[in-house]
Amino acid sequence: SQDEWSIALRYANEFNGVRVAAGAGYHEDGPIEGWGASAAMQHTASGIFVAVSYTDIEDTSITTAGYRDTAESWSVIGGMARKFSPLGKTTFWVRYAEYEGRTGQSAVAGYLTSHADLDVLSLGINQKIDAAAREIYASYYNVSSDATVSTTGARTDFDDFDAVILGARIFF
């Protein structure tokens, strides 16, 4: 039987028209352990906000010599959320995130994934429509990645991926 446990701390308050919130946590489930932290602040009068986050996860059960299974990520997002029209609140945002992983033997026999990077740049707009209990949104994502995936250790660069997402949500 594996032991699993977690602990977290959270904080939120408002000072002189600036809302702040932060949190940090640690989780352990057998050989997998990880921690993360985040913080955010918003100027209530202007609606300008910024938030940052970081996570680190490790699987100590990897036994391939010279490798360990880890994943790290961080992100920052900023934008503005305020009511520009009678429809409801409009939110403009831009976000940058980096994900990095190292691992040992992969699921494909004979191949080693020793390093992988993923960078994501995204931006978007959300418009709430209060009278109709819905929200419409549009966002753009650019994802770039490279990794060392081979029997020889050669680095592979992947083509960037771009996506535009349009949608709506109805709140029940």
pLDDT truncated to tens, each residue of the chain (172 aa)? 468 899 999 999 999 999 999 999 999 988 888 999 999 999 999 999 999 999 998 877 766 655 557 888 999 999 999 999 999 999 999 999 998 876 555 444 455 556 678 899 999 999 999 999 999 999 999 999 877 665 666 666 778 899 999 999 998 8
Look up residue 106 and give its amino acid.
S
pLDDT at 116: 76
107-113: Cβ within 8 A, 24+ apart: 110/151, 111/149, 111/150, 111/151, 112/64, 112/67, 112/148, 112/149, 112/150, 112/151, 112/153, 113/147, 113/148, 113/149
Distance CA 76, CA 53 (A): 7
